Structure 1
Amino acid sequence: MNEKEIAEIRRRFRPDKSNITHIRGCYVNDKREIVTGIDQSLAVMPQEESEKLLTILRRALSGTVGKNLVDIPFTTQQVVDSEEHRLLMALRDSALKDEEAVQAFFQRVIQSLTLEGGYLILLAADKYDVPYRSKDGERQDDASSEVYSYILCAVCPIKETKPALGYYVNENAFRSCRTDWIVGAPELGFLFPAFDDRSANIYGALYYSRDIAESHGEFVDAVFRREAPMPAAEQKETFQSILGETLAGECSYGVVRAVHDRLYEMVEEHKANKAEAPLVVSKQTVRRVLESCGVAEPQAAEFEEKFDAGFGADADVSPQNLVDVKRIEVRTPDVTIHVSPGRSDLVETRVIDGARYILIRANDGVEVNGVNISKF
């Protein structure tokens, strides 16, 4: 799914847009026991509470595509005949009214997922009368292309509030507020089926993880029977390791800077072109950058081999997961320098009298501890 498709579904989770009639769920304590079940009608709930529930669910469709939101593809065999796919289809087709399927899903999550403390599993079913869009992108609300039926799951930690001093208006007094338990933002979740090309795709799901360093592989395996995607943070560490090991003694600031700048430029070009498809790069793309910096053929070939070993054969990866497109970081044991994207030319390395230096070109606006420096 691309950003536009995700945003279109995310907009559904508002009182005036949604066809969600009720929410299913269960509260699980730290002993993996169901404390209570939830089957609440949004129609009879106070508006403030229903809006908060929809907001929590909507957050399971937030974050960055490729980092927090990743596609989970099913094999043809899974769609034709597999227990995990049948369960998801039963949840969707029954709009969460198949009690046996709902309870089976809860148990599958509880038996697999490990979270610190208790958590809340929320499920919502919706039917979206997808408006037709002409080739020029014009939306026609009176013309529908299909009805997209789907479920959204959000798993939220239950957090204990901290003791505090509060002011009670009715009593006109300050006194201690008792600790309580509140529902936190979703830690993980998913949308099924995927909304690809603005249409239902039962061969895929959209998976959400709040922490880009954690993919919750046990949950992915239990619900989808698929290998969990490599977390975005791990992708970055893997890429950095491959680059450093490949270049070894030939690893220079100029080469690393060139790779960063090229990937940054690709991200900016993709944004400027407003391309709908998510941006990905292949090992060949990075290899061409390395070769343009003078990296020798044997090292470039070694990079491709290590890339396959680290990410999988012929894998395509989001460039936003490989480098920090918001800044360049130059670090020594005692000094850390952050450089704005697109301005890596302000930094250079040089050897002076046998000692290695990092030089930063500085004209105006130099400050030390908030004090403007005019003399060097």
Structure 2
Amino acid sequence: MNEKEVGELRRRFRPERNGITHIRGCYVNEIGEIVAQFDQSLALLSQEETETCLGLLRRTLSGTLGKNLHSLEFATRQVAQGEEHKLLMTLRDSALREEEAVQAFFQKVIGAVQMEGNYLILLVHDTYDVPYRAKDGQQQDDASAEVYSHILCSICPVKQTKPALSYQVRENEFHNRAADWLVSPPELGFLFPAFDERTTNLYGALYYTRDSADAHPDFVQAVFQCPVPMAADTQKETFQSMLEETLGEECSYDVVQAVHDQLCELIQEHKDNREEEPLTLSKGAVKCVLRSCGVSDKHVEEFDTQYDDQFGADTALSPRNLVENKLEVTTPDVVIKVSPERSDLVQTRIIDGVKYILIRAEEGVEVNGVSVQIP
């Protein structure tokens, strides 16, 4: 799925646009016991409550593709006879009315989720009459291309608030507010089936994780039995380690800066061109970047071998997961952050046998918020 398709579905989760009739919920305590379940009609909720519930669900379709949102693919064998895929299809086709399937799903999630404290499993079914879109991009709302039937699951932590002094406007008085339990934005969740090229893809799902450092592999294995996506933070750490190990003496400031700048340029160009498909780089493209930054063929081939071991030869990486928005230079005692477009301000020099990091400073220099002059 691309950003436009995710955005199209995210806009569905509004009171006036969605086709959700009811919400299934399962409240689980910190030791994995079901405290309560509910099957609540949206029509019986107030407008404010409806907007809050839809807002939580909508968050499951938020974030960055490749970082918070991951496309999962089922093997042909799973679609034909896999138990995991069959359960998801039963939930979808029954519009969550097949009670045995719903309970089996809740138990599968409870057995796989590793979360501190209580949490809430929200499960909804929606049908979307996909408007026909002409070749020129114009959408025709009165012409439906197909009906996209899907389920969305959100797993939300439930946290206890602290007692506090509260001001009651109507009474114009202060009163103590007792501790309460509040539902937080989802920690993880998924959409099934995928909405690829604005049509149903039963071979795919869109998986969400709020924390880019934690892909919740136990949950992915239990619910989908698909390869677990490498967490975005792990991708960055692995890529950085590979540069250090394979470039050796060529891993200089200038080379690392050049790699960072080229990846940032690719990200900016993709953004400026408003490309719909997520930006990814194959192993060959990454090797081309290294060569253009002055890395020798010997070290590029060493990088090639490690790439296969760490990521897999056919794995494409998102540049957004490999670099930060700012260039950061650190020593044991100093941290320097530089805007990516001004990385030229930093240089490395050896003066009288001592290694230095030099920063060109002309004006606007401050120390602890105080403007200072450099004589």
- TM bin (shorter chain): over 0.9
Aligned pair 1:168/2:180, yes or no?
Answer: no
Aligned to 2:335: 336
Cα distance in structure 1, aligned partners of 2:198 and 2:295: 43
Task: State the shift of 1:177 in Å.
Answer: 1.4
Partner of 1:236: 236
| Farther-moved stretch of structure 1 (306-315 vs 60-69) | 306-315
Q: For structure 1, which segment, 245-254 or 118-127, has the greater mean C-alpha deviation from structure 2 after superposition? A: 245-254
Q: Which runs of 4+ in 1 moved over 6 A?
A: none
Aligned counterparts of 1:273 and 1:170: Cα–Cα separation in 2? 53
Q: Tell which deviates more after alignment, 356-365 or 328-337.
A: 356-365
Stretch of structure 1 that moved more, 273-282 or 185-194: 273-282
2:120 matched to 1:111?
no
User: Is 2:57 the counterpart of 1:49?
Assistant: no
- What's the counterpart of residue 297 of structure 1? 297
User: How many angstroms apart in 2 are the aligned matches of 1:233 and 1:124?
Assistant: 30
Gap regions ≥5 residues in structure 2: none
Which residues of 2 match residues 1-376 of structure 1 at below 5 A?
1-324=1-324, 326-376=325-375
Match for 2:345: what amino acid? L
- Measured after TM superposition, the shift of residue 168 of structure 1 is 2.7
Q: State the distance in 1 between where 2:148 and 2:350 align.
A: 63
**Which AA in structure 2 matches 1:313?**
A
285-294 or 48-57: which moved more? 285-294
Cα deviation for residue 218 of structure 1 reads: 0.6
Post-superposition Cα deviations, 1:202-226, rounded to whole Å, max 9, x if no partner, equal 0000000000000111110110011
**What is the Cα deviation at residue 289 of structure 1?**
2.2
Counterpart code for 1:357? Y
TM-score in terms of structure 1 length: 0.98
Q: CA deviation at 1:170?
A: 4.7
Q: Compare 150-159 and 279-288 and name the one that shifted more.
A: 279-288
- Name which of structure 1's ranges 233-242 and 364-373 shifts more when overlaid on structure 2: 364-373
Q: Supply the distance in 2 between the matched residues of 1:59 and 1:8 (Cα, whole angstroms).
A: 14
Contact 1:109-1:219 within 8 A present in 2 as well? yes
Contact 2:189 2:209 in 1 (8 A): yes
Deviations 1:60-109 (A, max 9, x none): 00111110000010001111111100100011111111111111100110
Partner Cα distance (2:42, 2:204) in 1: 28
Matching residue's letter, 2:333: D
How far apart are the structure 1 equivalents of 2:294 and 2:26? 58
TM-score norm. by structure 2 comes to 0.98
Aligned letter for 1:47?
Q
Secondary structure of 2:263's match? helix
Task: Write the distance in 2 (CA, Å) between the matches of 1:86 and 1:346.
Answer: 57
CA separation in 1, counterparts of 2:313 and 2:287? Answer: 15
CA distance in 2, matches of 1:356, 1:367: 24
State the one-letter code of the partner of 1:9.
L
Q: Once the 2 structures are TM-superposed, how far is the Cα of residue 169 of structure 1 from its aligned partner? A: 3.5
CA positional deviation for 1:227: 2.3
**Aligned-partner Cα distance in 1 for 2:252–2:355:** 12
Q: Tell me the distance in 1 between the aligned counterparts of 2:242 and 2:168.
A: 59
d(CA) in 2 for partners of 1:49, 1:367? 48
CA distance in 1, matches of 2:369, 2:114: 45
In the TM superposition, residue 315 of structure 1 has moved relative to its aligned partner by 1.2
Q: Distance in 1 between matches of 2:112 and 2:251?
A: 43
Task: Map Cα deviations across residues 225-274 of structure 1 (whole Å, 9 max, x no partner).
Answer: 11210000000000000001111232100000011011101011111111
Q: Secondary structure of the equivalent of 2:340?
A: coil
Tell me how far apart the structure 1 counterparts of residues 16 and 281 of structure 2 sit (CA, whole Å).
40
Distance 2:119 2:293 in 1: 50
Distance across 1 between alignment mates of 2:31 and 2:358? 56
Residue pair 1:259, 1:286 contacting (<8 A) in 2 also: no
- Separation in 2, partners of 1:217, 1:35: 25
The size of the alignment, in residue pairs, is 375
